[in-house]
Amino acid sequence: QITLGRATKDNQIDVDLALEGPAWKISRKQGVIKLKNNGDFFIANEGRRPIYIDGRPVLGGNKWKLNNNSVVEVKF
């Protein structure tokens, strides 16, 4: 599993999105990418801002299956 978000001294994550833009707009745990037993990857949005997968918004509390070459965007 890979965690996307904003790192703090008390919260370590795998991909620090705060390095790409305004840190205060990113949740500490914005999203999590997981590999399922069948080989599929899913992303779960655990933040307040939508995560865009191939241009489609995935709102907080929802998950989406990632396809080969999917584009994942977190807009600031």
Q: Are 20 and 27 in contact (CB under 8 A)?
A: no
Edge to edge, the sheet with strand 15-16 lists: 15-16, 2-5, 31-35, 41-45, 63-66
Report pTM.
Answer: 0.86
Q: pLDDT at position 76, please?
A: 67
Residue 56: give its domain's CATH number. Answer: 2.60.200.20
Question: What single letter denotes the amino acid at residue 47?
Answer: G
| Residue 39: per-residue pLDDT | 95
Q: pLDDT tens digit string along 55-72?
A: 999 999 999 999 999 999
CA distance 44 to 60: 8
Structural domain count of the chain: 1
- What pLDDT, in 10s, does the model give residues 6-56? 988 888 899 998 887 776 778 899 999 999 999 999 999 999 889 999 999
| Owning domain of residue 18 | 2-74
